[in-house]
Chains A and B, each alone.
Chain A
């Protein structure tokens, strides 16, 4: 077939023994808008990194399989080469220089120049910029998208929607662009900007450019794409013409049937009707994970899961409550209002937090397991100290005894309690984080991404531990995770966050379709769940 622009053939990729892509076969046709859908970690980004020859692929042992462009087998070893082959990327984070005009941004490193006497001697680098021609080119690219903004406007201060279009204009302006990849282009756009963008996509496709459209907004996918490919856990589930499917089916396929750990022993637990934590109108400015008016009530003794796609704000909730990022709103903990933006106050009130940023916020990497375990308790609760009045000393014996107990309880694999946590494996580091949180004797535990970056065996241990704490000590847990299966395995109910707000609350045994639709923000067809909103 001659209208095939790009083919992936038997693509597979491993990261240190962990297979993240397996046997991917995919064709992109000319003039086609091809939607690529999958949960976080399904392998979309890895596939695109392979296509662009990103260094992260080549420094980790390359990939299996081959890529063909217009029937010709190619080796793409650098992003620059991908560009030269006519593959363009519209980045999710903007690759724009704020202090430059639109023209300068569109033409960055592809500036048009005229020779001058000096450049004839010293080479092309000293040729004079031809601003007039550059402006004209920029104008042309902007006109294709129907943007009437002046090309000499400074990018700084433009609305995000415009920035997105400038990114696209840059790709269009590159001569010979054949394939454009849009990575979540509508994530930051308003409704009307989104519609503009979609019509631009259609215009571009009509000129024969192939488009890979990565999005989790199923409505947009249904509206604009010609074919849909769904990835799940590194496998290609299906490629279908869009008209032969519907968003319910896509949602179902995207979430898939994963192994679900059965909740057991729930009869022993008591969930009282007391509300231990109530969050009203929480707004958190966490870059990339903004929360924009979050409401939730947590009952004493339950495990609440917070799920949702990356970038929708689920991580911001716990970080906002703990005062790590600026927050606003009303949080009532045990009947008393909790002061926001005050990490010390939140800790003193009896909250404990296991951060998703284990190495940044969670641990003192260059210090021992002992110190990491008792650090917060020493700082906040004045425990493990010998108080001499004029000075306080660490009570080394008690610290050692306590840490030893924790190491035994949580099964932390280490050479001694004096080992530096930086040299532990990811799973054991996570256990140290948990040990520190438990040492505080918290009334409520906030856990974010507890299984991120740790291997399967350790994952199960961590989840079992959380469950055990909840069952035996009645500890209330709010767990945030990108992995739905994980939430469904231990939570009593799961809050799905979309665009910084609660999209809905589902029981763990709700169907895949319901979860899929809710995470994509397509409320239609899903009930509000049976939880309390």
Chain B
């Protein structure tokens, strides 16, 4: 009885409100499956995983600024532009002079993006210290401004001030500026193709690994004399074992799931490493400073932490990660849309993070990963629902843009509402107690 009451209390309205965004998205995706009956599962999973490999890195790059109290860094757009600049420079040099293989080109891109992104990240970090309290809107506008500089650089400076070969394939035919789309050449799939595994094999391996980990952890805990919950252990083991068996069955029967896009192992490992990095850095002195500054700049400063410097470091890390994330994204796409590929990155990555249940002040690795999956499920389902319900896929396309912006507005609104509610001064509820007794 008591337990049921406790469960009920935990599931009250404030819980619903706090998690309204993920709930809406789960509901939407489920509804999509029901409405769009004909949607093949392998198509859905292929689309979803591709989008996940492309976008997860960018979403994860948002975490550190949130922890450091800077809010959602729309400025990752600037990082993305740095990544694209690196790609263009490498492509230009590679075609004319270096003649590198795809993998080396990729490594060079990563290396070149680091100083560019670190520099612009430093500048945006300084900007955020000057616009304290308005970091999010500042990052949004800084992104638009940087876009102007980026266009000026690529449409005018290249060719007019920096001499380039007019017949170069990435330069416009008149010799001034970079083309709208640039072929990635050897860079296409440079990261993805290093090592690929069929989807179900990957599921099998991962589920077996996690299973082993769960069992070992449980045994270690038992040995130390700590009492773990036996029920949750059994449930975990059963689920993982079931998943492993299911993937084995799929492999054996060569089911539809075998046609899901192959897993680019190196990309996934990089995403995993970034997750680990995000977790590990929080266990260092620097990470603790991020948290201190994020919780209260005033108290952090009073205890001698260099608040401004810490915030700049957070922005630099975020911008560099975004640049690398954009390189990973573009190599998967195959062609670089020079003037458009970065434009929506900030909005969509922020929306994905918020969909995972994150807020302006709190964001975790699981929220980023789950958010990316949910957000892109919505993206895939929207045209399908539009087709099934209105007979028009385009409506769904409109709808998903609406959802992306809507979710940002909703999440920010709920956050502000909660913050207001908490900071409101209210009388202590003394007399109520008196009345009761």
A interface vs B, CB < 8 Å? 79-80, 83, 95-100, 104, 108-111, 113, 119, 124-129, 283, 285-287, 325-328
| Residue B288 is within 8 A (CB to CB) of chain A in the complex | yes
| Residue B426 is within 8 A (CB to CB) of chain A in the complex | yes
Give Cα A328–Cα B285 distance, bound, in whole angstroms. Answer: 47
Question: Do B425 and A287 touch across chains, with their CB atoms under 8 A apart?
Answer: yes
Taking CB atoms, residues of chain B closer than 8 Å to A283 are 427-428, 430
Looking at B116-124, B297-305, B363-371, the stretch in contact with chain A turns out to be B297-305
**A interface footprint on B289-310 (CB within 8 Å = 1, 0 otherwise):** 1011001100110111100000
Which of these, B283, B284, B289, B430, contacts A109 with CB under 8 Å? B289
- Which chain A residue has the least Cβ–Cβ distance from B424? A326
Taking CB atoms, residues of chain B closer than 8 Å to A99 are 295
B405-437 with Cβ < 8 A to chain A: 425-428, 430-431
Taking CB atoms, residues of chain A closer than 8 Å to B299 are 95-97, 108
Which of these, B288, B296, B426, B431, contacts A326 with CB under 8 Å? B426
Given known contacts A287-B425, A325-B425, A326-B425, A79 and B302 CB-to-CB distance under 8 angstroms: yes
Question: Do A83 and B284 touch across chains, with their CB atoms under 8 A apart?
Answer: no
16 of the cross-chain contacts (CB-CB < 8 Å) are A97-B299, A98-B295, A99-B295, A108-B303, A119-B284, A125-B285, A125-B286, A126-B284, A126-B285, A128-B283, A128-B284, A283-B428, A285-B426, A325-B425, A326-B425, A326-B426
Question: Do B295 and A83 touch across chains, with their CB atoms under 8 A apart?
Answer: no
Give Cα A79–Cα B298 distance, bound, in whole angstroms. Answer: 13
Interface of B is mostly: helix
The total number of A-B Cβ pairs within 8 Å is 69
Question: Do B295 and A100 touch across chains, with their CB atoms under 8 A apart?
Answer: yes
Taking CB atoms, residues of chain A closer than 8 Å to B288 are 104, 111, 129
Question: Do A97 and B296 touch across chains, with their CB atoms under 8 A apart?
Answer: yes
Taking CB atoms, residues of chain B closer than 8 Å to A128 are 283-284
Given known contacts A96-B299, A108-B299, A113 and B425 CB-to-CB distance under 8 angstroms: no
Given contacts A100-B292, A127-B285, 13 further A-B contacts (CB under 8 A): A80-B304, A104-B288, A108-B292, A109-B304, A125-B286, A125-B289, A129-B285, A283-B430, A285-B425, A285-B428, A286-B425, A325-B425, A327-B427
Give Cα A95–Cα B185 distance, bound, in whole angstroms. Answer: 57
- Nearest CB of B to A315, in Å: 14
- Nearest CB of A to B142, in Å: 26
A-B complex: 4 closest residue pairs judged by Cβ atoms: A109-B303, A125-B286, A97-B295, A108-B303
- Nearest CB of A to B315, in Å: 16
Question: Do A109 and B425 touch across chains, with their CB atoms under 8 A apart?
Answer: no
Question: Do B303 and A126 touch across chains, with their CB atoms under 8 A apart?
Answer: no
Taking CB atoms, residues of chain B closer than 8 Å to A96 are 299
Give Cα A126–Cα B286 distance, bound, in whole angstroms. Answer: 6
Taking CB atoms, residues of chain B closer than 8 Å to A83 are 304
Question: Do B285 and A113 touch across chains, with their CB atoms under 8 A apart?
Answer: yes
- Which chain A residue has the least Cβ–Cβ distance from B428? A285
Question: Do A124 and B285 touch across chains, with their CB atoms under 8 A apart?
Answer: yes
Taking CB atoms, residues of chain A closer than 8 Å to B289 are 109, 125
Give Cα A127–Cα B299 distance, bound, in whole angstroms. Answer: 22
Question: Do B300 and A109 touch across chains, with their CB atoms under 8 A apart?
Answer: yes
Give Cα A111–Cα B304 distance, bound, in whole angstroms. Answer: 12
Question: Do A109 and B305 touch across chains, with their CB atoms under 8 A apart?
Answer: yes
Taking CB atoms, residues of chain B closer than 8 Å to A113 are 284-285
Taking CB atoms, residues of chain A closer than 8 Å to B300 are 108-109
Give Cα A100–Cα B295 distance, bound, in whole angstroms. Answer: 9
- Nearest CB of B to A75, in Å: 18
